[in-house]
Amino acid sequence: MITVWARGLARHRTGRLLAALTGIALAVALVAALGSFLTASKATMTQRALRSVSVDWQVQVQPGADPGSLLSLVRRTPGTRAALPVGYARTAGFTARVQGSTQTTGPGVALGLPDGYRTLFPDTIRPLSGASTGVLLAQQTASNLHAAPGDTITLQLPGVGSRQVKVDGVVDLPQADSLFQTVGAPSQSQPTAPPDNVVLLPAPRFAALTHGSTGSTTQLHVARDTSRLPSDPAAAYTAVTGAAHNLEARSAGTALVGDNVGAALDSARQDALYAQILFLFLGVPGAVLAAALTVAVASAGGERRRQEQGLLRLRGLRPGQITRLAGLEAALIGLLGGLAGLGIAALTGRLAFGSASFGTGAGTWALWYGIAFVLGAAVATGAVLVPALRDLRTVTVAETRKESGASGARTPWWARYGLDFALLIGSWLVFRASSGNQYALVLAPEGVPSISVSYWAFLGPAMLWIGAALLLWRLTLLALAHGRPALARLARPLTAKLAGATAATLARRRRPLARSVVLLALAVSFAVSTAVFNATYQQQAEVDARLTNGADVTVTEPPGAHVPPSSANTLKVSGVRHVEPLQHRFAYVGSDLQDLYGVRPDTIAQATSLQDAYFSGGTTGQLMRRLTERPDNLLVSAETVNDFQLSPGDTVNLRIQDARTKALRTVPFHYAGIVKEFPTAPKDSFFIANATYITQATGSDAVGAFLLDTGGAHQQQIAAQLRAKLGTSATVTDLTQTRGTVGTSLTSVDLAGLTRIELAFAVLLAAGAGGLVLALGLAERRRTFAIATVLGARTGQLRGMVLTEALLLAVTGLAGGILIGWALSEMLVKVLTGVFDPPPASLAVPGAYLALTALAALIAVLAAALNGIRRARRPAIEELRDL
């Protein structure tokens, strides 16, 4: 009997089985793909963090400790590959006499590097000109001294005096921030900027020159074996910091560890947690939606199953036998759908990421695929077997012969108790609490192994999603139940005299139709919210990169250099459309030292993008006009406005260095607006003023940086051309380079991959929600169409009935989905503010993708309708005989 039943299902219920299989396959594929990718992404974050570090540990030898003994202890520490001693000596200044002029710099640092240092730590030093060994000057120092390989410079060493060395080469120090960090400084203190003046010396030369110096210390630079660290950034961070603390404990106070690899993993673990949060925010709804699609598909054939079950009971089958037959259908759907879903996931991984496992290990890959398969089986059981068991207990044989969906059906329990309104109100309350100024979704205190996540913030979007769906369900039921005259008028162009009958049919079948509308709306809202969030994130990542770099290409002059604005003409190489000079000074407001930027208000926007969100108290155009109309106007950070209680028009006296006397002089400005962000400016406090006014007040028109507009093209090539032209006299950065530097692992790897998977499945879910349920619902109503034909309905009128239902489903579902998706997008972006830097002024709408999603849903609905029309053309007698 089991074999005969299975053969009958495959032969006569092919469409129903395939539809259910599709829902299971989508759910399994989405969970398997997202779970595997999330794990692989975390491993990728760990590897990226480890690769970004040049020197894993910088162990500071404490005063009075023996460097040799400590070096031996470090080398014996488990996990240490190699360790080398590096000397640090403070200098009072550098002097060079080049081409008849003498140049002098301020304090700096001399480093003593042992043999093999560059081999062990290759990313610490990048040669620019001259030799790569011997006495090496940092690029900034060479620019300050106007020195080149072959020149002789003088070092001023405290306690020793003047020492001369001959320069062998000029180098760049990409890891200067960590190389010159203050090891052991409190985590809450502000990081110190690396010194502008640095000379690198061979260890023997360093020892000879600094012998007797009072400012010499020793660090041990350590390379660790990171190949055995856990793939998860949080677990790797715990292991690395634990090893560093263990060394400090065993050194008995003679060493402090600057844990650079731990700092990199600390940042990566936060990115990993945000990726996990995005998985929950954006991925879980897709899996839930696929499961709901399966349940809806199974429910579309529920009436037929009840009739078949009643027939089997009339023929004497026992409940246990009927249960086994229902279990067989559930098993077929779960097994075949699960296997198909795993195949889709593997194909997705192969096509999108080059590996069916998404780059994870075999164990993790198998685990996620197993979890997804079990979830698919559970959904199949809940969609097919559980309703069959419920009907066996609660439905009589006589009731199985009745057609469900009568207009007198009782109002759903959730509608009677107002659950939809309660969920929406609760969502608003949670959103208000979780989007406040002091709220942090992820809290990762520096140096603390554990990260806390406020998971309750997930309640806001979840309750909005469910509450909006239930509200749409309620409104659809009310419209279909009480809007029959309006439905008849809308259906008349397609159904002619059957308009009233069509409206009555829609009202009578309002429950399944409302369920279809809600399912389509949820699928569309999932696509909208995912696509808008991804587009907004990409938009803000580009904004962040442009703010950091300043423009397509930026040429930054060294501090103290006097480069006039007219030098912009020398930078107009092929491909450069506009060059904008930007002054950079420092100014005291009270005792607070802040950056001061001088701009040309009428032309600054030609080289870089300025958004209204960067300012407060006026739009970009308005504030730039204020700087033009009144040159002594000043744009001030919000922090400074609050600290000094400024009001518009107040006089702000800044103390700025006079270029002629080198003394600080007081320059009056007038507060004209607030600036929050500005190209090349730091993220904290700074000022924006008119460059002409600053020039008049200080007697210098020196430019700090030139912003180059290349039209967004050939940035790397133009930057390379300028580097070759300018040499070491200036620093050239391009937007492509900065984009890779400021972009987190989440931006460049994980979010892009996550949304590629989700957006593809969102299109499939929208098409499935729009077409599968309608197609199965029409297939289950063949008896209705056959009876209508016998009563005299023409084919065109039946076609109009089907198209009316299809259009009602498509229009209502798409409109509801767009509204829910828009609300979800606004909430997601606000709740996940920590992901965005800077926060967006407005959402980015990917019109092409959303149009594709809507088109896919419309095509699926129309295909289902056309198939229903085709089936309605069969002779009525033939159709009734089959039924």
Using CA atoms, how far apart are residues 328 and 330, in angstroms rounded to an integer?
Answer: 5
SS3 of residue 25 by DSSP: helix
According to the model, what pLDDT value does residue 412 have?
81
**Tokens 């580097």 -> residue:** 723
pTM equals 0.73
According to the model, what pLDDT value does residue 446 have?
46
The residues, ordered by sequence, that sit 6+ positions from 167 with a Cβ below 8 Å of its Cβ are: 130, 135, 136, 137, 142, 147, 148, 149, 150, 151, 152, 153
Helix extents (H) in 657-751 = 691-698, 715-726, 735-742, 745
According to the model, what pLDDT value does residue 27 have?
81
- 877-883: long-range pairs with CB below 8 Å, 24+: 879/782, 879/783, 879/785, 879/786, 880/783, 880/786, 880/787, 880/790, 882/782, 883/782, 883/783, 883/786
Say if residue 217 is exposed, middle or buried (CB neighbours under 10 Å; 0-12, 13-18, 19+).
Answer: middle
What count of other Cβ atoms lies within 10 Å of the Cβ of residue 834? 15
Q: How far is CA 184 from the centre of its chain?
A: 33
Q: What is the dihedral of CA 148, 152, 155, 156, to 10 degrees?
A: -120
Q: Are 833 and 839 in contact (CB under 8 A)?
A: yes
Q: Are 740 and 584 in contact (CB under 8 A)?
A: no
According to the model, what pLDDT value does residue 407 have?
44
Q: Are 389 and 354 in contact (CB under 8 A)?
A: no
Using CA atoms, how far apart are residues 120 and 113, in angstroms rounded to an integer?
Answer: 11
- Please choose, from the candidates 338, 328, 326, the residue with its C-alpha nearest in 3D space to the C-alpha of residue 386: 326
SS3 of residue 814 by DSSP: helix
Q: Which two tokens stand for residue 1?
A: 């009997």
Helix (H) or strand (E) holding 73: helix 67-76
* Cα within 13 Å of Cα(731), Cβ side: 21
According to the model, what pLDDT value does residue 862 have?
85
10-residue mean pLDDT profile of the chain (883 residues): values are 63 69 82 79 81 90 90 92 93 86 87 92 87 88 85 88 90 86 60 79 91 84 90 88 92 89 84 73 76 72 66 70 76 86 83 67 77 86 77 65 53 86 91 66 50 68 90 91 86 81 82 85 87 82 84 86 88 91 90 89 90 87 92 90 88 89 89 90 86 92 92 89 84 81 54 68 77 65 61 66 84 92 86 69 84 86 76 53 49
Eight-state DSSP code of residue 149: T
